[in-house]
Amino acid sequence: MTATARCFWVPEGDDLYCDYHDHEWGYPVSDDRRLFEKVSLEAFQSGLSWRTILGKRENFRTAFRNFEIRTVAAFGESDVERLVGDAGIVRHRGKILATINNAARALEAIEAHGSLAAWCWSYADSDAELRRIQSEEEVRSRTTTPEAVRLSKALKRAGWKHVGPTTVFSFMQAAGMVNDHHLGCGVVDQINAARRVFSHPS
């Protein structure tokens, strides 16, 4: 695949970004741990470049114990201080505390809905919308969707932090709940194939 066959936001020659785009971004995800990781990293990204987060992702995984939800929910003050002092991640106390809070809220969602995936995917676009391939102009022009706004509001009502509509939209894009590989992107066929065999969590 050449650089010109990727979405507009992928920097040419950046292997880490290219690999993320080609093999991860937009593929549907139904695993609770992976979804929690994605929404957590999107919250950390707010105000920063995604390249910064992507470059630190393995450090984040180590620091947050691979984003195992129950483990993170049990983090205490010593963990907070450990994370604030970890130069390998984004040392933002508010976002660190939000991630720990959100892990506890994720456990509540799992108890209430059967899984975090079932709850989040209930706010996703329809199958028809997921299959519709958009132009680059359409993708460039929007920073959120009605679905992302509704999920953001639901998360906030449930006590989640740092989950505004733009952050939630990015999370939904990354987890495949929104189809934003645009016309001309060489990954479109693989994304559609992944969607055809994807079972919506319920």
Q: Write the CA distances from 98 to 4, 103, 119, integer angstroms.
A: 38, 9, 19
Active-site amino acid positions: 20, 42, 50
DSSP 3-state percent helix, strand, coil across the chain (nearest 5): 60, 0, 40
Q: How many Å apart are CA 29 and CA 37, to the nearest integer?
A: 11
Phi/psi at 182 (5° precision): -90, 175
